[in-house]
Amino acid sequence: QRIFEANPASVALTGYPLSQLIDKPVEQLLPHILRAQAHTYLIAGTAVPQESRLLHHDGQELDVELSVSHMPENGGHYSMMVLHDITARKRSEAQAHFLAYNDPLTCLPNRQGLTRQLRAVLLAAEQQQQHVVLLYVDMDRFKDVNDSLGHDAGDALLTQIARRLRSKVHPNDIVARLAGDEFVVVLASPLTACQPDCM
């Protein structure tokens, strides 16, 4: 379980010069939290690539796929570990997931994101017998801004409105942009100042 050879791609991927890789325990290339899992792969091998993380020489963690094959030699065996950098793929997946549930302009939840978060809020409110307040916010004459000042000005205004709405509510509350100039604010935090019969 110590490195006795590494190709130039491994040197480039890990950031270690070859002299520092040789005789290094393989597990030291992985974050502490993944070392027990990796130990299993090193002992048993894994023909199917497994997603893991690599600890670069500079301390940065990279997303990788690894596979480990055992090769017989002189009555024993050595292991060959293949690492594949999947950082770009994981970044694309994360971006696609973000855009599925968030508005790219304001970074607020979109309609799908609001629906998903609202389910959890309503369930928690029902269990705790608390109120939830939902506000629909629509900007009057927003089209006039786009028509007279251009879409860049309209986008800047929407971003500013989103920032202001977000700054005026509790961190547990939700601010979402449905479309165009339509926003929804969900006051999900407990309304401690309000008695149940006051709404």
Catalytic residues: 181
Interior/surface letters 94-113, b for 16+ CB within 10 angstroms, e for the rest: eeeeeeebbbeebebbbeeb
Taking the C-alpha atoms of residue 91 and residue 105, their distance in angstroms, rounded to an integer, is 19
- Report the chain's C-alpha Rg in angstroms: 26
Between β-strands 46-55 and 182-187, what pairing exists: parallel, antiparallel or unpaired?
Answer: unpaired
User: φ, ψ for residue 179 (rounded to 5)?
Assistant: -175, 150
Write the DSSP assignment of 84-130 as a string of letters: EE-HHHHHHHHHHHHHHHB-TTT-SB-HHHHHHHHHHHHHHHHHHT-
Cα 26–chain centre separation? 27
Amino acid at 96: A
Q: Both tokens of residue 74? A: 């002189």
